[in-house]
Amino acid sequence: MRGGLRRGSYFFVIDAFIAGAILFLTLVVIFNFFVGPRQTEQSFTYAHDYLAFLTSTQVRDYHDLTIDALSISDRRKSLAEQVLIFHNASNDTAAAVILAAAAQSLPPTVLINVSVQEQAGSQSAVLYSRGLSETGQKRTHLVAKSVEYAIINQSGLYGPVVMQTEVWS
């Protein structure tokens, strides 16, 4: 009788190993599904966050040597406002310097294009472009837009314009 009980206990040990393996594989599959953000969601986050950063950060709060070297009269303006002021003064090179400095926070594999469109239906002016001349495969293309304006002086207003950020990753 004792030998019969010993043989029956092997079944429970094997059953426990099989259940453990099934549980382990199920957990591996579930956690691998949620390992990283989906590429589309991450690209939208890059496009939206970059544009939000430009519109919410003042020049005086962003410390970068290349931006500090520019002749900016009012450092209380946001980076986006200063970009529009330079664009209005036909100084797109200075606008590109600001946009390039802000784009350093994005991974180098992310391609970016920033443009402004002054009126509905008009051509958009490209102010900054990083990596779009490369012939690599562009998997995801997303766009974030914001209506912006800039106060030029006490009596002048430039805008509203549509600032558009396109991101490829």
Q: Which string of DSSP letters, residue by residue, matches the chain?
A: -HHHHHHHHHHHHHHHHHHHHHHHHHHHHHHHHTSS--HHHHHHHHHHHHHHHHHH-BGGG---HHHHTS--S-TTSBHHHHHHHHHHTT-HHHHHHHHHHHHTTS-TT-EEEEEEESSTTSPEEEEEEESTTS-S----EEEEEEEEEEE-SSS-EEEEEEEEEEEE-
Instruction: Give residue 139's pLDDT band: very low, low, confident or very high (50, 70, 90).
Output: low
Bigger pLDDT: 53 vs 12: 53
Q: Per-residue pLDDT tens for 47-105?
A: 888 888 888 888 888 888 888 888 888 888 888 888 888 888 888 888 889 999 888 88
pTM across the whole model: 0.67
Residue 20: predicted pLDDT:
93
pLDDT of residue 22: 95
**Percent of the chain topping pLDDT 90:** 5
Place of tokens 């002086």: 153
Write down the pLDDT at residue 23: 94
Q: So what's the pLDDT on residue 167?
A: 83
- Return the higher-pLDDT residue of 39 and 65: 65
For the chain, the domains span 1-35, 39-168
The overall average pLDDT reported for the chain is 79
What pLDDT, on the 0 to 100 scale, is given for residue 2? 53
Structure confidence at residue 154 (pLDDT): 74
